[in-house]
Amino acid sequence: MIGRVTLVFVLVSVLPLASNRPMWWTLLSLGVILLFILRVLFDFRSGIDRYSRQALPLGLVFALVIAWALVQSLWAPPVGWAHPVWRLVPEVIGRISADPIAGLHHAMRLSAYAMVFWIAARHAVKSDDAEQSLIWIAVGISLLSAYGIVTVAISQNPILGERATTNVTASFINRNNFATYAVFGLLANLALYLRVSPDRSKDPHRQLRDFLEDFFESNWLYATGVLLCLGAILLSQSRAGAAAAGLGLAAYFLSGRRTSQGSTSLALAFSAALIAFSFMALSSGVLTRIFVDTTEEARFLIYPLVIDGILDRPLLGHGLGAFQDAFRIYVTPDISMAEVDLAHSSYLENAFELGLPAAALFYGCLAIIVLVILRGTFVRSRNRLYTRFAFAAAIAGGFHSAFDFSLQMPASAALFAFILGLGWAQAFPRQRNSSEVAA
């Protein structure tokens, strides 16, 4: 029950501008904290399975990252350790962070994402709960994608409170941020669409009938979701989003193993036809931006400056959430006309803010989670669609984060944490259960 409420809360949090405003991310964090407390109370009463316990050491390491962010914001350091911006106000006690208040906000958000991961890892242990969660993710993002497409068609976006642009953004301000979210929906729908029920006939003369029965019974919903999410990604005209979708699809298919059931081949062929048709019909805007648009090349001017900032304070960092204030001293005349509030690379930005040791711990935890999920795609003989989906989502989100800040949106980050928790819960082999489905 707690897991379901958390997932609904996370999915709904995308509506107020992906919760990318202090009031909304605070409400999201507080809601998650309350649900996490309930989850912990239930865990004390009922115990924790051994697979979930394996995540506890990672939780401790992640807690060290949060603790360092708090130290950056709250500790009055020795002379020379405080950030240089505090020299402008010598009457105030300096901090390691250039923006301590932002550091506290971001520490709260990171803590909430870790709590979402734990709730999902505890909730999705049973395959029925994992399947239900995947369905809600698929349907929820499909509906959001449909909304985004409609807003472009009618040139009105009530959530954003303005006339819609020619790019699909749905409830996001930025098309790239929306594209990553829609990629998660694309992968969820595809995973559900390609499910194979073990009781289906192996008779080659009946495989087409079985495929059609599955399609019209429930798979039409996920096929529609694939089209909606893919169409929304392409209509967002996000180049990195389209590339992330391609990498996510490749990761999903390459992490699978061949099966003898012919209905899988039919489903694969049908899904490939849908994807190919959608790409040919809707990708003109993306292709135009790939070959013509040069308006976003400023990010490649920013990256060397961010690296300079990292090298200036490689151990201490500039403070979690303090990028906008701390980066001003590195701005050069060729980019001085714009306010640079984000590094357009989550990896560089986190290294800039946290320092290299803390950033290494942060991404080390994420890498271990992804590797455990990848291992699960090989060691499990059933229900592998959940680990394959989570791994593909991690590859897509991780790739896009190298060029943008999509997973820095609170609603996207919270959903990503839930997906990783779902993948972790299903990454370990268990005894056969008659209700489980093969994938």
| Sign for the pseudo-dihedral over CA of 146, 148, 149, 152 | positive
305 in a domain, yes or no?
no
Q: Is residue 306 part of a domain?
A: no
Work out how many domains the chain is built from and give that number.
1
Q: Does 234 have pLDDT greater than 70?
A: yes
CA distance 32 to 5: 10
Higher pLDDT, 359 or 243: 359
Do 390 and 439 form a contact (C-beta atoms < 8 A)? no
Q: What is the pLDDT of residue 91?
A: 80
- From residue 246, alpha-carbon distances to 20, 147, 397 in Å are 27, 23, 12
Give the range of the structural domain holding residue 10, as residue numbers without chain letter: 2-294+343-425
d(CA 42, CA 38): 6
CA distance 353 to 356: 9
Alpha helices in 155-261 (DSSP H): 175-193, 207-214, 220-235, 239-254
Has residue 12 got a pLDDT over 50? yes
Q: What is the distance between the alpha carbons of residues 80 and 96, in angstroms, rounded to a whole number? A: 9
357 pLDDT above the threshold of 90: yes
**CA pseudo-torsion sign 378, 384, 387, 390:** positive
pLDDT tens by residue, 113-141: 999 999 999 999 999 999 999 999 999 99
Six-digit token pair at 52? 């979930």
436 domain-assigned: no
pLDDT more than 90, % of the chain: 59
Q: Provide the pLDDT for residue 301.
A: 86
Task: Please state, in angstroms and rounded to a whole number, the distance separating the CA atoms of residues 269 and 377.
Answer: 22
15: which 2 tokens?
A: 């509506």
Between helix 262-282 and helix 220-235 the angle, nearest 10°, is 30
List beta partners, residue 157.
162
pLDDT of residue 78: 87
Average pLDDT value for residue range 261-285: 52
Give residue-wise pLDDT tens across range 65-75.
Answer: 999 999 999 99
Of 182-186, 191-195, 412-416, which range is least confident? 191-195
Contact 243, 399 (CB under 8 A): yes
Counting every residue, how long is the chain? 439
